[in-house]
């Protein structure tokens, strides 16, 4: 005879006196098997419950070969124990799971959309639909219909029937595990649907509180519909309100002007970026001309908070000039040190060999071809040594 565990017979129970009948270890994690449990083992799209066994945290609950294992933070002892349930986690799961039954039933009844799978995640849930991307109008209609059934406070009940009784009942899904034996558990939303399910559920659709559709997107020839129900709706609203308040404070605008203000700020940033790039190009050209005007064999320049592109503009202008010397350019930014070695048209030094020596002195790596060699290092602390090595090339 199939044992009916307390999580099924008493889905609102949060404590239970139990006996630890066996203990073991799975993948280095201790577990306990109890004579009964109020903790639901993962299955049917519903995550496992969490809780405690006396003062030991229960981190996971899994059903393996018909045996429910409570995976523990530390080993337990055989004998009597007090089992407690993390009720806030469980109630959230009950809200999402019952909401999924209702959402699926309303979607197929009113829109002809079949649900092919259900996933419950920590922050959102989703169902996969056997229909290509729904329109925004249809999604609004579905959301209104589901919330109307929530307000109707329809009774939800779970019960078991024998297999031969199932044939005479209108059941949305009759899928059962291949190894299923014995009677069959049904979950019924009064006047809406009846479905085979082993999960924990609410007593009334009113306890779902509300359901919000977040949107749908194409997937595997159908679509995936993301949604929130119950306390998750309020949590998401609170998060958005806090985020909105911070944005209003930072941008100094009202809710209805947030998008307009952000677009204006982005346009201003893009314009500032274009002006900065133009100024950097002018600065690079001026810096290159100043270096070209130097009559030393080894010339150097160091910059703060510029990137490799800035150094490259200087180096290319220098390399195109009729100069007999070589230049070492370095720059420091948040990512470290960039360096570039360039030789003028009249430079007789092997720039690639000189560049490798500079890279070694700076403790970095690089490469190049012809009159340009560039690379990266963590710091510019070896810069004096690099300049000395370049000077040796002209002796």
Same domain (yes/no): 112, 166? yes
pLDDT tens column, 102-143: 999 999 999 999 999 999 999 999 999 999 889 999 999 999
pLDDT tens column, 40-57: 999 988 999 999 999 999
Number of domains observed in the structure of the chain: 3
Domain that holds residue 335: 292-392
Same domain (yes/no): 202, 335? no
Distance CA 261, CA 229 (A): 32
Distance CA 358, CA 389 (A): 7
Mean of the pLDDT values across residues 334-346? 92
- Residue 254 is assigned to a structural domain of this protein: no
> Do residues 53 and 32 make contact, with C-beta atoms less than 8 angstroms apart?
yes
Q: Which of 221, 236, 251 is the last residue of a domain?
A: 236
Is the pLDDT reported for residue 164 higher than 80? no
Same domain (yes/no): 23, 121? no
> Do residues 15 and 83 make contact, with C-beta atoms less than 8 angstroms apart?
yes
CATH code assigned at 44: 2.40.30.130
- Residue 80 is assigned to a structural domain of this protein: yes
Distances (CA, A) of 253 to 246, 262, 268: 11, 10, 16
pLDDT tens column, 260-272: 999 999 999 999 9
Same domain (yes/no): 304, 167? no
Given pLDDT bands bounded at 50, 70 and 90, which one contains residue 180?
low
Same domain (yes/no): 70, 98? no
pLDDT tens column, 76-111: 999 999 999 999 999 999 999 999 999 999 999 999
313 CB contacts (<8 Å, ≥6 apart)?
280, 281, 284, 285, 288
Q: Which of 236, 263, 279 is the last residue of a domain?
A: 236
Q: What's this model's pTM, rounded to 2 decimal places?
A: 0.75
What is the per-residue pLDDT for 175? 62
With CA atoms as reference, report the closest residue to 383 among 365, 368, 363: 363
Mean pLDDT estimate for the chain = 92
What is the per-residue pLDDT for 216? 94
Same domain (yes/no): 105, 37? no
- Residue 287 is assigned to a structural domain of this protein: no
Same domain (yes/no): 114, 15? no
What is the per-residue pLDDT for 177? 55
CATH code assigned at 192: 3.30.980.10
- Residue 13 is assigned to a structural domain of this protein: yes
Q: Which of 85, 109, 125 is the last residue of a domain?
A: 85
Mean of the pLDDT values across residues 290-298? 92
Same domain (yes/no): 304, 386? yes
- Residue 297 is assigned to a structural domain of this protein: yes
Same domain (yes/no): 102, 220? yes
Same domain (yes/no): 78, 98? no
Same domain (yes/no): 209, 97? yes
Give a three-class secondary structure readout of 272-334.
Answer: HHHHHHHHHHHHHHHHHHHHHCCCCCEEEEEEECCCHHHHHHHHHHHHCCCCCCEEEEEEEEC
Q: For residue 70, list its beta bridge partners.
A: 32, 61
Mean of the pLDDT values across residues 351-369? 93
Higher per-residue confidence, 251 vs 149: 149
pLDDT tens column, 9-32: 999 999 999 999 999 998 899 999
- Residue 226 is assigned to a structural domain of this protein: yes
What is the per-residue pLDDT for 98? 97
């Amino acid at each position: 005879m199939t044992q009916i565990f307390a999580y099924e017979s008493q889905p609102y129970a949060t404590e239970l006196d139990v006996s630890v009948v066996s203990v073991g270890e799975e993948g280095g994690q201790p577990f306990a098997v109890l004579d009964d449990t109020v903790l639901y083992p993962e299955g049917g799209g519903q995550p496992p419950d969490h809780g405690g066994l006396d003062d030991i945290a229960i981190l996971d609950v899994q059903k393996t070969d018909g045996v429910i294992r409570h995976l523990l933070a530390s080993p337990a002892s055989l004998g009597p124990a007090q089992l407690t349930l993390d009720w806030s986690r469980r109630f959230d799961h009950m809200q999402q799971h019952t909401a999924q039954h209702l959402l699926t039933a309303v979607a197929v009844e009113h829109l002809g959309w079949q649900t092919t799978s259900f996933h419950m995640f920590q922050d959102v849930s989703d169902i996969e639909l056997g229909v290509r991307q729904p329109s925004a109008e249809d999604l609004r209609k579905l959301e209104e219909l589901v919330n109307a059934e929530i307000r109707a406070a329809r009774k939800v009940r779970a019960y078991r029937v024998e297999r031969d009784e199932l044939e005479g009942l209108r059941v949305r899904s009759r899928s059962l595990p291949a190894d299923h034996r014995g009677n069959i558990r049904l979950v019924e939303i009064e006047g809406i649907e009846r479905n085979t399910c082993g999960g924990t559920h609410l007593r009334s659709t009113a306890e779902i509180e509300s359901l919000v559709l977040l949107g749908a997107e194409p997937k595997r020839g159908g679509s995936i519909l993301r949604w929130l129900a119950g306390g998750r709706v309020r949590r998401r609203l609170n998060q958005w309100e806090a985020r909105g308040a911070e944005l209003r404070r930072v941008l100094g605008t009202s809710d209805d002007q947030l998008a307009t203000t952000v677009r204006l700020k982005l346009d201003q940033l893009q314009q500032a970026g274009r002006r900065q790039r133009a100024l950097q190009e002018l600065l690079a050209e001026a810096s290159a001309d100043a270096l070209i005007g130097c009559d030393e064999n080894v010339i150097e320049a160091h910059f703060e908070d510029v990137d490799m592109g800035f150094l490259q503009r200087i180096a290319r202008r220098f390399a195109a000039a009729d100069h007999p010397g070589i230049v070492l350019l370095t720059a420091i930014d948040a990512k470290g040190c960039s360096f570039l070695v360039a030789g003028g048209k009249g430079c007789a030094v092997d720039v690639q060999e000189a560049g490798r020596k500079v890279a070694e002195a700076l403790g970095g790596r690089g490469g190049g071809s012809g009159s340009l060699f560039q690379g990266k290092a963590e710091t510019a602390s070896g810069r004096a040594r690099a300049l000395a090595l370049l000077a040796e090339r002209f002796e």
